[in-house]
Homo-oligomer: A and B are copies of this chain.
Amino acid sequence: MDKFMDAAIEEARKGRAENGIPIGSVLVLDGKIVARGHNQRIQKGSAVLHAEMDCLENAGRLTAADYKRSTLYSTLSPCDMCSGAVLLYGIPKVVIGENKTFQGPEEYVKSRGVELIVLDSQECKELMNELISTKPELWNEDIGE
């Protein structure tokens, strides 16, 4: 449906193959992917490396000017933390695979001037539904529940 979302889904599948949480993200700048990431809770025992955070970390230290013309792709609606990272860096646009299995603070993020596009991807929902049905306790941990 979208080559950048396809790349984020590829990251989510990598996470699943590592027995991790299947959420992926890519950061796009000037029409090119400059960083990729996926949730690292299992792989690195990480409490902060959600897919979007892993992607931003892998992007390294960018300038404000870079962030301000970038687009972040995520297979799932960004949580409070990842939404906060978007706001911190002034990333103007986020493309979201789906927001049915989980929804972050989308209205607040939009009220702060960020454009959100939700693709409602069946593939993204299937990845999450599989996780939620087979490892509910892991998913709850990842969203602080």
Residues of A within 8 A of B (CB): 41, 45-49, 53, 56-57, 59-64, 67, 79-85, 87-90, 105, 108, 140-141, 143-145
Contacts and interface: CB of A to CB of B under 8 A. Distances in A.
A45 B64 contact: no
Contacts of A41: 61
A44 to B, nearest CB: 9
Contacts of A87: 80-81, 84, 105
Contact of A144 (B64, B79, B80): B64
A45 to B, nearest CB: 6
Contact of A48 (B48, B90, B140, B143): B48
10 contacts: A45-B61, A47-B62, A47-B89, A61-B141, A64-B145, A80-B87, A80-B88, A83-B84, A87-B105, A90-B144
Contact of A47 (B47, B59, B79): B59
